Amino acid sequence: MADRHRTALIGAAFLMATSAIGPGFLTQTAVFTERLGASFAFAILVSVVIDLVAQLNIWRVLVVSGRRASEVANLVAPGLGTGLTVLVVVGGLAFNVGNVAGAGLGLRVLLGIPVEVGALLSALLAIGLFLSKEAGRAMDRFAVALGFVLVALTIYVASASAPPIGEALVRAVRPERVDLLSIVTIVGGTVGGYITFSGAHRLLDEGLRGPAALPAVTRSATTAIGVASLMRVLLFLAALGVVSQGLALDPANPPAAVFLLAVGQIGYRLFGLVMWCAAITSVVGAAYTSVSFLRSLHPTLEAHWTRVVIAFIATAAAAFLLIGQPVRVLVLVGAINGVILPVGLTVMLIAAHRPAAVGTYQHPRWLTWAGALVASAMAGASGFVLWRDLIGG
């Protein structure tokens, strides 16, 4: 059982990280690097701190309570869990349309097949994981393997682009420009919406719960943010190396342009593999986590959850084939997901001090105050950005 728990801890970390590293993640990073240059390092640094605070609060509360987020939310206020479920599932489905599209795009670049065919084949592969008797463990192994592929390939491209690392380090603490949209978007893309709950729900499914599990949970959550942040930094450095040479990224596909300009045609093919790995793991993570919220609504959904996951993936694939997914939507969906973060985090912070949810557990005060600060800051920043860029603009 100990070995199984260790595997689950690693799998949960990579499930969260690879759920975050999707097509939107790649697109956002390339777009904001071109827009802000080395100053984007500041947004990344701020986002890492925010991500850690959010993850540690949410994972600890859920694992101590032994309940999924929707169940904990209902203990805070009846019906609140249902509202949170709606937000997460709708956001997860919207993201998964983009994830399926990204998988199709990746296979088109890699193999030269039509985007629609690549999207369909990728959706079928993701569905195949959940046809396994050990669907959870198959998902863990899949996330870990492709997570390593993502990091290794991006290290190669970042090295080839020869970025000005010294300038990036300086601008991480002394930015020439601070852009709220970039911070809100990349935080939303890393721990927003369904993503922040994915690893904790995976641990609960593997039986890890209670205060005794907290040290291991903290390591797993930190590893998850570490992997996602490492990938963000590597992709940022790859893009920075390109734009610092005065080269312009293709607005139709900014991350592909980074790989092409850094390494040539080989880089373009590598981008196809990176995009596919990022997209297919996010398809799996989004479907699994969104459905983990639905499972609490009815015993039938709990008993047949793998079928519900399959239906969720199929719905996203069908939606992509009907409407597609442009680059602008991939960027802005991250900002929308950033709105879900302060809602979910606030609910978890309240639950952290409710004996009905956590029993006699004493949540660290510094985490509570840090979490409250993050939730307030993200709520204000997300509201401002959405008004300026979606409603008012």
- For the stretch 313-325, pLDDT in tens is 999 899 888 876 5
- Write the secondary structure of 129-175 as one string of H (helix), E (strand) and C (coil): HCCCCCHHHHHHHHHHHHHHHHHHHHHHHHHHCCCCHHHHHHHHHCC
- pLDDT greater at residue 164 or residue 379: 164
CA-based nearest residue to 297, from 115, 29, 85: 85
Q: What is the pLDDT of residues 137-151, one digit of tens each?
A: 888 888 888 888 888
DSSP string, 360-385: T----HHHHHHHHHHHHHHHHHHHHH
Q: Could you tell me the pLDDT band of residue 253, with boundaries at 50, 70 and 90?
A: confident
Decide if pLDDT at 329 tops 70.
no
Task: Work out the pLDDT band at 5, boundaries 50, 70, 90.
Answer: low
Q: What is the pLDDT of residue 246?
A: 87
Asked if pLDDT for residue 181 goes beyond 80, the answer is no
Instruction: Provide the token pair at 115.
Output: 């985007």
The candidate with the shortest Cα–Cα distance to 281, out of 129, 56, 110, 87, is: 129
> What's the mean pLDDT in 109-134?
89
The whole-chain average pLDDT of the chain stands at: 85
**227-253: average pLDDT:** 88
Q: DSSP assignment of 35-68, as one string?
A: HHGGGHHHHHHHHHHHHHHHHHHHHHHHHHHTS-
Q: What gap in Å lies between CA 31 and CA 157, rounded to an integer?
A: 17
**Average confidence (pLDDT) over 258-279:** 89
SS3 353: coil
Assigned token pair, 352? 């952290």
Q: Which two tokens stand for residue 180?
A: 């709220």
The yes-or-no verdict on residue 109 having pLDDT over 50 is yes
- Residue 128 corresponds to which tokens in the numbers above? 């195949």
What is the rounded CA–CA span in Å between residue 297 and residue 288? 15
DSSP code for 387: I
Region at 166 (left for phi over 0; alpha for psi -120 to 50; beta for the rest) = alpha
Q: Taking phi first (over 0 means left), then psi (-120 to 50 degrees means alpha), and beta for anything else, what does residue 22 get?
A: beta
Q: What is the pLDDT of residue 179?
A: 81
Amino acid 71: pLDDT:
93
88-103 pLDDT, tens digit per residue, is 888 788 888 888 888 9
- Whether pLDDT at 381 is above 80: no
Percent of the chain having pLDDT more than 90?
A: 27
List, in order of start, the domains of the chain with CATH numbers. Answer: 2-391 (1.20.1740.10)
HSE-up of 24 (CA within 13 Å, CB side)?
35
Residue 311, amino acid: A
Higher pLDDT pick, 42 / 338: 42
What is the C-alpha to C-alpha distance for residues 132 and 306, in angstroms, rounded to an integer?
Answer: 9
**317 CB neighbour count, 10 Å cutoff:** 26
3-state per-residue secondary structure call for 269-317 = HHHHHHHHHHHHHHHHHHHHHHHHHHCCCCHHHHHCHHHHHHHHHHHHH
Average pLDDT over residues 198-217: 88
Is the pLDDT reported for residue 74 higher than 90? Answer: yes
Provide the b/e sequence for 14-28 (b: ≥16 CB within 10 Å): bbbbbbbbbbbbbbb
Distance CA 19, CA 13 (A): 10
Tokens of 30: 């390339």
* Higher pLDDT among residues 16 and 122, named by residue: 122
Q: Between residues 191 and 119, which one has the greater pLDDT?
A: 119
Residue 1 pLDDT exceeds 50: no
310 pLDDT more than 60: yes
Among 218, 266, 263, which residue's Cα sits nearest to residue 238?
Answer: 263
Q: Residue 326 above 50 pLDDT?
A: no
Q: What is the pTM of this model?
A: 0.87
The radius of gyration of the chain from alpha carbons, rounded to an integer in Å, stands at 20
Cα dihedral 326/330/333/334 (nearest 10): -170
Task: Give the Cα separation of 123 and 126 in Å (integer).
Answer: 5
